[in-house]
Amino acid sequence: MSGDIHIRVEGRAGRITLNRPKSLNALTHDMCLAIESALDAWTGDDSIELAVIDASGEKAFCAGGDVQEMHRSGSAGDYEYGRAFWRDEYRLNAKLFHWPKPFVAFMQGFVMGGGVGISCHGSHRVVGGTSRIAMPECGIGLVPDVGGSLLLAQAPGRLGEYLGVTGTRMNAADAIHAGFADYFIDESDWPRLILNLVEGGGVGAVDRAAADPPDSPLSRIRPDIDRLFTGERLADIVTDLGNDGGPVAEKALEAIRRNSPLSMACSVETTHRLRGSDDITRALDLEYRFTSRSMEHGDFLEGVRAAVIDKDRAPRWRHESPSAVPAIDVSRMLMPQKDHPLGLELPTWAA
């Protein structure tokens, strides 16, 4: 695991560098535990002013969690490995959300799923020209998790519903518009900025280095999104999209037809339940209700098979269409988890 992630102290900064570039820096269980241990150690260390997280390679900061072992164990009937991974990962997400010092994330290339969870809850979220941020979990039979459901619920207008069910990739300006990032800084300036932070220049250096982001295509189509994604249920949204016939609606429907109907229906529901909230514990609990059941009662194993294992891109979902998900199925996936609770125990500084 030591080769997968490089954690050290440099000057006044705690430094975390993901180092699995050939795997798009996909996040493993051990990497989650290592980051959590570092945050715990640095919290009470007065010599450390802030933390910086970045990643090796140009293609991705972190393209998600490493789901292959989850698929292997789940296919063998062992659902506890996945539940343990999610419990530990969600605890890390909550700690990062509440971390009392500045946490600066440099997010190049793909930032998806688990990558969002270890960056977008930080205090200073930096994107650049290559950044592509998304929550594409519905495509593998999950819901936007790692606290991403809270980010979606806090996004302006109906962007949360749209981004959750379509998995649309945002550029840097889109991510800032949607509330997933804060600063646009040219990536050629990142090394110099990190050196400044390490040498004790203070987190204000991030503000001073920021530039105006480029154009946001997402902001241009937001009036259509806000009009088309007001439905109470996924089926209502699909009906409105089908009746519209415009380019935004057609592109959204194309994405929706590829994804798990059950996952999308639950994503819409979690977005609605969390709207107006700033409680990441509540968001993570809702997400875990779904993910902890996703192997046995959802589409996760089939989604990973089709996208990652066999790569045939032909998943056989439990429901025939986005309009065919009964409300009772959504309720069952999101009911309180009594048999395998999340048990999110946090230190006093993160409570």
Catalytic positions are: 65, 114, 137, 145
Residues 37, 43, 44, 46: is their CA dihedral positive or negative? positive
Output the CA–CA distances (angstroms, integers) from residue 184 to 63, 118, 213, 268, 319, in the order listed: 20, 18, 5, 29, 41
Answer for the pair 104, 203: CB distance below 8 angstroms, yes or no: yes
Largest CA distance in the chain: 60
CA-CA-CA-CA torsion for 210, 212, 214, 219, nearest 10 degrees?
Answer: 110
Look-up: residue for tokens 């207008």? Answer: 157
Provide the 8-state DSSP code for 350: G
| Chain CA centroid to CA 168, Å | 12
Strands (E), 36-170: 50-55, 60-62, 103-107, 110-112, 124-127, 132-134
Output the CA–CA distances (angstroms, integers) from residue 176 to 130, 132, 151, in the order listed: 14, 12, 12
Answer for the pair 12, 26: CB distance below 8 angstroms, yes or no: no
Q: Who contacts 233 (Cβ-Cβ below 8 Å, separation ≥6)?
A: 265, 268, 269, 327
Nearest to 51 by CA among 63, 37, 61, 38: 38
User: How far is residue 122's CA from residue 302's CA, in Å, rounded to a whole number?
Assistant: 33
Radius of gyration of the chain (CA): 19
Beta-bridge partner residues of 104: 52, 124
Look-up: residue for tokens 């809850």? Answer: 121
User: How far is residue 152's CA from residue 146's CA, in Å, rounded to a whole number?
Assistant: 12
